[in-house]
Amino acid sequence: MTSPITVTTQEVQSFHQAIRDAETIAISGHTNPDGDCVGSCLALYAYIKNRYPDKKAEILLEPVGERFRFLKYADRVTQTPGEEPYDLFFCLDCSDSGRLARFGETFEKARHTVCVDHHVSNQDTFGEYRFVNAEAAATCQMLYLLFEEPHIDFECAQALYLGISHDTGIFKHSNTTRQVMEIAGALIEKGVRPEFIIDETFYKKTYIQNQILGRALMESILLLDGSIIFSVIKKKDMEIYGVDGSDMDGIIDQLRVTEGVECALFLYEKEEGLFKVSMRSNGRVNVSEIAQTFGGGGHIKAAGCTVAGDVRDTINNIAYMVEYQLKQDSEND
Ligand code: 5GP
Ligand code: MN
């Protein structure tokens, strides 16, 4: 049984003290914001609005996906930081300052910084106040524990539920603990409607998103006796379908559940010759370790990186590392 993650009373106090001591606050997260990242940023914004209404908070994030826009305060997300350095900069669901992309400079200039995260690849020199626990299922789970429960309103609860449901693959990954379910239950008591959040943000697909999913599955290839599956979508095809990275979110999950697969890879071409790689493991392979060798990171079972060069070389290199890990794993059996 997995024990619940905890934050100490002292940690809760220092989290709140950092907010109290600040007048201007920036809330930010990683590039290509996913459900947990968007959820964390909107939840913290809602919490500060409710608990510390006199603070001047801003959400600095890349534009949020269409499917998250119904959430309150999603329209407050901006890509333009204020000119003056912020008193406090919250870096959420983000393992290193490089992942802040265009907001890295604003982070560097801020008077104080706080990092709340759960990536195993999070660097321990990152952020002045650090609330980092790789055992947490989601950054939103950590925020829930840092927040004072009575000050979590419906808007905040909805955003927290978004993050927790997405990063647990809708309560089915191995990070779905009793504590995760209890927190989800507490958020439901705040008025969250699970079927609404989950359908709107996870399962619902546009026609074009379904088409590109179909195309990626049709063209997927098995390697190493079926223990690896990969699929690649090139830029010219993305242009034909009119899709961007966020339209291809569920593809990797579908590849992963292919019978016999230990490791799934999905690559799409962000720019000519530059590929975003998503990796998922079914347990025997540590994909975070592989992603880190390419300058990326993530979790043991879900990680990513961006790699320049010949896509076949990239796949061969990753396949080699997967094969090595699988061999090590069988020898340890
Ligand atoms: P995805 O494949 O869904 O983009 O990402 C899976 C996980 O790996 C997420 O937790 C994400 O934050 C992390 N991740 C994806 N790409 C990168 C990257 O380039 N660098 C780092 N450090 N983490 C990444
Ligand atoms: Mn996360």
Q: What is the pLDDT of residues 301-313, one digit of tens each?
A: 999 999 999 999 9
Residue nearest to atom 11 of ligand 1 (CA): 298
Mean pLDDT of all residues in 221-225:
98
At 3, the pLDDT band (50, 70, 90 cuts) reads confident
User: Over pLDDT 90: what percentage of the chain?
Assistant: 97
Question: Which residue's CA is minimally distant from atom 17 of ligand 1?
Answer: 304
State how far the alpha carbon of 282 is from the alpha carbons of 99, 120, 166, 294, in Å.
25, 17, 17, 21
Which residues share a beta bridge with 60?
28, 78
Q: Which residues line ligand 1 (CB under 6 A)?
A: 30, 95-96, 99, 119, 121, 252, 278, 296-299, 302-306
Substitution candidate for ligand 1 out of 30, 230, 275 with most atoms within 8 A of CB: 30
* Residue bearing the CA closest to ligand 1, atom 12: 298
pLDDT digits (tens, 9 = 90+) for 16-66: 999 999 999 999 999 999 999 999 999 999 999 999 999 999 999 999 999
pLDDT single digits (tens) 60-99: 999 999 999 999 999 999 999 999 999 999 999 999 999 9
Q: Which residues surround ligand 2, an ion (CB under 5 A)?
A: 36, 93, 139, 167
- Give residue 333's pLDDT: 79
- Interval between CA 6 and ligand 1 midpoint (Å): 24
3-class DSSP state of 170 = coil
Contact 7, 77 (CB under 8 A): no
Q: CA-CA distances (angstroms) from residue 186 to 156, 177, 178, 180, 317? A: 12, 14, 12, 10, 45
Q: Is the pLDDT of residue 283 over 80?
A: yes
Instruction: Compute φ and ψ for 269, nearest 5 degrees.
Output: -90, 110
How do 297-298 and 274-281 pair as beta strands?
Answer: unpaired
Specify the residue with its C-alpha closest to ligand 1, atom 7: 303
Q: What mean pLDDT do residues 123-149 have? A: 96
What is the number of the ligand closest to the CA of 264?
Answer: 1
Our CA angle for 104, 265, 172, nearest 5°, is: 85
Contact 314, 295 (CB under 8 A): no
SS3 of 9-57:
HHHHHHHHHHHHCCCEEEEEECCCCCHHHHHHHHHHHHHHHHHCCCCEE
Q: What is the mean pLDDT of the chain?
A: 97
Token digits for 162?
A: 């978004």
DSSP class of residue 126 equals S
User: Tens of pLDDT along 166-219?
Assistant: 999 999 999 999 999 999 999 999 999 999 999 999 999 999 999 999 999 999
Q: Rounded to two decimals, what is the model's pTM? A: 0.95
Q: Does residue 1 carry a pLDDT above 70?
A: no
Phi, psi dihedral angles at 247 (to 5 degrees)? -75, -10
Distance between CA atoms of 198 and 325, rounded to whole angstroms? Answer: 34
Instruction: Check: CB of residue 231 under 8 Å from CB of residue 251.
Output: yes
Pairs from 311-316 (Cβ < 8 Å, separation ≥ 24): 311/232, 311/267, 311/269, 311/275, 314/267, 314/275, 314/277, 315/223, 315/230, 315/232, 315/265, 315/267
**How confident is the model at residue 2, as a pLDDT?**
77
Average pLDDT over residues 234-259: 96
Q: Is 265 left (phi over 0), alpha (psi -120 to 50) or beta?
A: beta
SS3 content of the chain, % helix, strand, coil (to 5): 45, 20, 35
Give the number of the ligand closest to the Cα of residue 31.
1
In tens, the pLDDT along 247-257 reads: 999 999 999 99
Judge residue 144's burial from the number of C-beta atoms within 10 Å of its C-beta, 0-12 exposed, 13-18 middle, 19 or more buried.
Answer: buried
Alpha-carbon dihedral angle through residues 113, 165, 201, 70, given to the nearest 10 degrees:
-60
99-126 pLDDT per residue, tens: 999 999 999 999 999 999 999 999 888 9
Handedness of CA 159, 189, 18, 128 (dihedral sign): negative
